[in-house]
Structure 1
């Protein structure tokens, strides 16, 4: 099942709330001693994360199928970059990495139990069965029962405090619903915060841009590096920006083609512009390789600000004395 984005926290007697973990969504299918881990796109993950597959095989009965999120903890924070490194490693090095950099599987749904299909049951009944199943799972373990609450105040507290450990927001589900694969019947309420960035490139001509490529100065090197890119601009936004952006006349801090976007394969062809226009954008909490992992939403031009006024790295704001407040 999938989730659609909402702009406010839903409430109601039927609502249950779960943290939105920042990892790889995966179905774990225990087929009699062999566990298949499959991503949302159908890609096999068990060879990359053998410790997770082994934990399911050891502690979950055969004929059982789980839905959850593979995550990597670095200290007390979720580390998506470390998870990516694990995912890119060869199958030959997967076992050594599983010992030195183990990942965890946070389980939030039970689709089959010892051969019995549970998908037509309500989420409330599936959750009861999942909690009973986890009574026999060793703790601490690489398998973790995902948090869930029916209390909106508890959910709001999670929303306010869990970004410190890398949680993106909340997933809201209807306790009465069955499990319907591919349907966007769940909802996600994600952190959206505003901050500033420097326009250093455009998709489309600078006088009529379709998207903006954004930069931030690196606090260690002073270089302007790629921070992210926007969603497609409206016609009015494009018109407003068109008179402010100028094609780069000389050297530009970035190559003429940029690395592919998250999940893409092709380098980004774009138009280099003078990095002098500051814009306000809306971002979420997810980042990877020192970039905002998801596209950001353009809000407005900040004509009163210069590039020197923009926070460094991916920080959200500056302190009055000019030091950056960590994001």
Structure 2
């Protein structure tokens, strides 16, 4: 199941919506095989077992064989989600067992696809799958790295989450039809992301002025009045590049940045 972006909360619908916080992490599908071995894969099928052994251990310990769950691997640091630390955890998987103690991750579980007791749940509506998931989590202790995703059917509660959780690095909301089945690859869910904006000056580009690939952004220092590098955009789509290109002109009379700018 995938989500498509929206810019406002959707109107009510027959059957209702379910709202969940949108976490910034790695989407993961976890399977506890009938022989009790555990497999954790990314949405594209990349194995994640060796990078996050604390999750493998918890899945083995707390979920029965024959269970398949969907969730998001996240890393908390200083009371906030830290995606960069999560990336470092994955990159340093040769040291995964030590890092599992010093920089632990969590799996926020938001769906269940199958259990040995209930069989294949993918055709069942979300509200029924959620009831099964809540039953599974009754035996999982709070100290476990497995976390049940928060969920509400109340749009007022969802708006409160949207307004208050951004400070902790939560990206926004995922909104799901309560009566929807689980269809692999289908964009039935919605994602409503919080956006923080600021004014910046385009000080350079990657690519060319006629076909920019990304924009290099700067802000004027309040003390010096000089344009300081502040960051870059993500890669521009063809449509975005075509819209921006006519607005770009070469600097006249020198530029405060070097010809080659080292950026992250």
Task: Give TM-score, length-normalised by structure 1.
Answer: 0.71
Question: Aligned to 1:134, which of 137, 149, 161?
Answer: 137
Q: CA RMSD in A?
A: 2.5
Partner of 1:20: 22
Following superposition, the deviation at residue 126 of structure 1 comes to: 0.2
Unaligned runs of 5+ in 1: 260-327
Residues 214-293 of structure 1 aligned to structure 2 (within 5 Å):
214-216=216-218, 224=229, 226-229=231-234, 231-232=236-237, 233=240, 235=242, 237-239=244-246, 241-242=247-248, 244-246=249-251, 252-253=257-258, 255=260
Residues 106-125 of structure 1 aligned to structure 2 (within 5 Å):
106-114=108-116, 116-125=119-128
Specify whether residues 80 and 234 from structure 1 end up closer, same or farther in structure 2 by C-alpha distance, changes over 3 A only.
closer
Following superposition, the deviation at residue 215 of structure 1 comes to: 2.8
Specify whether residues 235 and 89 from structure 1 end up closer, same or farther in structure 2 by C-alpha distance, changes over 3 A only.
closer
What count of residue pairs does the alignment treat as equivalent? 253
Following superposition, the deviation at residue 154 of structure 1 comes to: 0.2
Partner of 1:37: 40
Specify whether residues 226 and 129 from structure 1 end up closer, same or farther in structure 2 by C-alpha distance, changes over 3 A only.
same
Specify whether residues 245 and 161 from structure 1 end up closer, same or farther in structure 2 by C-alpha distance, changes over 3 A only.
farther
C-alpha distance in structure 2 between counterparts of 1:212 and 1:43, whole Å: 28
C-alpha distance in structure 2 between counterparts of 1:254 and 1:96, whole Å: 43
Following superposition, the deviation at residue 247 of structure 1 comes to: 8.1
Specify whether residues 251 and 8 from structure 1 end up closer, same or farther in structure 2 by C-alpha distance, changes over 3 A only.
closer
Q: Is the 8 A contact 2:216 2:232 kept in 1?
A: yes
C-alpha distance in structure 2 between counterparts of 1:164 and 1:19, whole Å: 13
Unaligned runs of 5+ in 2: none
Q: Relative contact order: is structure 1 or structure 2 higher (C-alpha 8 Å, sep ≥ 6)?
A: 2
Following superposition, the deviation at residue 47 of structure 1 comes to: 0.3
Following superposition, the deviation at residue 76 of structure 1 comes to: 1.4
Task: Give TM-score, length-normalised by structure 2.
Answer: 0.87
SS in 1 for 2:167: helix
Question: Aligned to 2:60, which of 53, 57, 60?
Answer: 57
Structure 1, 244-253 or 5-14: larger mean CA deviation: 244-253
Partner of 2:161: 158
